């Protein structure tokens, strides 16, 4: 009923090619942006912002980057944690070594270093595919782990190997309170989500998808595999690098190499798989699932137990959390192998023709 396109007639190419062609979607998106940028910061508690909002935003940004490479270009990558680490340590070194280095350029340059690294480790993708490539990108992960554990210079010779950053500010604006940090991350996420959305709708995005769907055929019709694959690696690792530097600077504040271990790579890959390969929204849904669900479960279970008069120990909760989480992943992938975003678009499809079944 509410979701009808009747009467929404496009009379220009521009109108036909906009990101959200349906009016209701535009309203929903506007409402979402207002919610994210005005309502949440003004209503949410510090806990919601610092422990839920900020990690969710940064992980969404990272998943967005992974999705460009894995979902749109079909290059399976297990090196996302490494790209995040390069971004984080790159930005850290710039801040530590250059006096009065401004924050945003440092973060962007962190992303740039990650991009160089990503292109370097993307080179094997020109020769190998699938699982073999996954192993090659795994090498990127282990190389960065080794690099930041062993090369003292990169961690500014800190005796414990842990580094920290403090008093962040942009110009004269401090980035200290949870609200400031949240909005800072949100600005990055909105900006890069828009860029990514437009990239995948453009010629270069179509090249990525062509390579993903059938690289031989793509080469035959004149798409350059080298250019397409390396540009996907570049864009993806740039975005992941920015996410890494935000994760380190804004969320953690102090971190050790283990903060960007292979576990993060796996989590990001799961986000993309569960959220939906080859969809911008998939990154957000996957990040919500992987970041928020464990936190939600760990708080919901004791409350549920309390209703029935059980006092559950924290260890039991942690185990149940893992079981439910694993079960849900399996269930979702059985119900919809293409992830949450596919479920979402199916739902919209149903609504468009409601009350008719098809």
Partner 1 sequence: MMKRTIATLSAAVAALVSVASSPALAQEKQQFFPMLTFRTGPYAPSGTPWANGFLDYYKLVNLNGGINGVRVLWEECETGYATDRGVECYERLKDKHGGATVFQTMSTGITFALTERGAADRIPILTPAYGVSESADGGAYKWSFPIGGTHWASADTQYQYLVQRAGGADKLKGKKITLLYHDSPFGKEAIPVLTARAKAAGFDLLTLPVSHPGVDQKAAWLQIRQTRPDYVLLWGWGVMNSTALKEAQSTGFARNRMIGVWPSGSESDVKGVAGAEGYSAVLLLPGPGASSKIAQEVLEKLHAKGNGSGPKEEVGEALYMRGMMNAMMSVEGVRRAQEKFGKGKVMTPSQARWGYENLDISQKRLEELGIADIMRPLSTTCKDHMGPSSARAYTWDGAKWNVSSDWLQADQNILGPLLKESVDRHLAEKKQTRRAADDCNS
Residue 163 three-state SS: strand
164 phi and psi, to 5 degrees? -145, 155
- 9, 203, 315, 330: residue in contact with partner 1 (rule CB under 8 A): 315
Taking residue 183's Cβ as centre, other Cβ atoms within 10 Å add up to: 20
- 139, 143, 190, 298: residue in contact with partner 1 (rule CB under 8 A): 298
The answer to whether 46 contacts partner 1 (rule: CB under 8 A) is: yes
Q: Between 97 and 224, name the residue whose CB sits nearer to partner 1.
A: 97
CA separation, residue 281 to residues 38, 57, 144 (Å): 21, 13, 29
**Helix 80-97 and helix 54-66: axis angle, to 10°?**
120
The answer to whether 323 contacts partner 1 (rule: CB under 8 A) is: no
- 66, 76, 103, 288: residue in contact with partner 1 (rule CB under 8 A): 288
The answer to whether 47 contacts partner 1 (rule: CB under 8 A) is: yes
Q: Which stretch binds partner 1 (CB under 8 A): 4-12, 49-57, 82-90, 206-214?
A: 49-57
Q: Between 210 and 340, name the residue whose CB sits nearer to partner 1.
A: 340
Q: How many residues bind partner 1 (CB under 8 A)?
A: 57
Contacts with partner 1 in 242-281 (CB under 8 A)?
Answer: 251-256, 258-259, 261, 281
Tell me how far apart the alpha carbons of residues 255 and 241 are, in angstroms, rounded to a whole number: 15
CA 47 to chain CA centroid, Å, is: 21
Instruction: Record the tokens describing residue 150, joined without a space.
Output: 């062993």
Q: How far is the CB of 228 from partner 1 (least distance, A)?
A: 28
Q: How far is the CB of 216 from partner 1 (least distance, A)?
A: 35
DSSP-assigned beta bridge partners for residue 255: 163
Tell me how far apart the alpha carbons of residues 203 and 255 are, in angstroms, rounded to a whole number: 39
71 phi and psi, to 5 degrees? -80, -40
Q: Between 157 and 358, name the residue whose CB sits nearer to partner 1.
A: 157
Q: State how beta strands 169-170 and 163-164 pair.
A: unpaired
Contacts with partner 1 in 13-42 (CB under 8 A)?
Answer: 25, 28-29, 31-32, 35-36, 40
- 166, 171, 355, 357: residue in contact with partner 1 (rule CB under 8 A): 166
Helices (H) and strands (E) in the chain, counts: 17, 4
Binding site for partner 1 (CB under 8 A): 25, 28-29, 31-32, 35-36, 40, 44-48, 50-52, 55, 96, 149, 156-157, 159-162, 164, 166-167, 176, 251-256, 258-259, 261, 281, 284-285, 288, 292, 295-296, 298-300, 302-303, 313-315, 317-319, 344
């Amino acid at each position: 009923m509410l979701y009808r396109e009747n009467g929404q007639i496009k009379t220009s190419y521009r109108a036909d090619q906009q990101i959200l062609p349906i009016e209701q979607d535009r309203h929903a998106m506007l409402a979402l942006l207002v919610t994210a940028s005005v309502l949440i910061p003004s209503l949410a508690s510090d806990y919601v912002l610092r422990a839920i909002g900020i990690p969710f935003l940064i992980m969404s940004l990272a998943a967005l980057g992974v999705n460009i490479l894995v979902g749109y270009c079909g290059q399976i990558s297990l090196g996302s944690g490494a790209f995040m680490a390069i971004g984080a340590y790159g930005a850290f070194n710039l801040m530590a070594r250059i006096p009065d280095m401004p924050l945003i350029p440092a973060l962007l340059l962190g992303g740039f270093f990650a991009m160089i690294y990503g292109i370097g480790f993307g080179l094997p993708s020109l020769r190998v595919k699938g699982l073999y490539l996954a192993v090659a990108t795994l090498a990127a992960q282990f190389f960065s782990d080794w690099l930041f554990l062993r090369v003292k210079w990169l961690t500014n010779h800190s005796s414990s190997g842990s580094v920290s950053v403090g008093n962040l500010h942009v110009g004269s604006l401090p980035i200290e309170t949870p609200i400031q940090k949240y909005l800072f991350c949100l600005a990055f996420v909105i900006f890069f989500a828009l860029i990514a959305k437009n990239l995948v709708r453009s010629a270069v995005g179509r090249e990525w998808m062509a390579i993903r769907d059938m690289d031989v055929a793509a080469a035959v019709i004149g798409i350059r595999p080298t250019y397409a694959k390396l540009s996907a690696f570049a864009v993806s690792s740039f975005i992941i690098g920015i996410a890494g530097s935000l994760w380190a600077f804004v969320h953690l504040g102090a971190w050790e190499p283990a903060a960007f271990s292979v576990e993060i790579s796996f989590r990001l890959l799961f986000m993309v798989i569960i959220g939906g390969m080859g969809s911008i929204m998939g990154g957000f849904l996957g990040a919500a699932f992987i970041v928020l669900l464990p936190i939600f479960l760990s708080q919901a279970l004791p409350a549920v137990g309390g209703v029935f008069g059980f006092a559950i120990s924290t260890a039991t909760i942690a185990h149940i959390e893992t079981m439910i989480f694993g079960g849900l992943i399996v269930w979702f992938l059985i119900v919809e192998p293409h992830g949450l975003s596919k479920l979402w678009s199916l739902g919209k499809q149903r609504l468009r023709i409601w009350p008719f079944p098809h």
